[in-house]
Amino acid sequence: MLTLSNLAIRRGTKVLFEQASFKIHRGNRVGITG
């Protein structure tokens, strides 16, 4: 299992998201695009 807590991502001065938390359990698949 992968756990991410209080994640924040900014691009320059623009905040894309902050205080994001989630868990990825074994066997789950996750895709990130952008």
**pLDDT at residue 32, as a whole number:** 82
- Taking CA 23 as the corner, what is the angle to CA 22 and CA 25, rounded to the nearest 5 degrees? 155
Q: What is the C-alpha separation between 32 and 34, in angstroms, rounded?
A: 7
Q: What is residue 12's DSSP assignment?
A: T
pLDDT in single tens digits along all 34 residues of the chain: 999 999 999 999 999 999 999 999 999 999 988 7
**pLDDT at residue 10, as a whole number:** 94
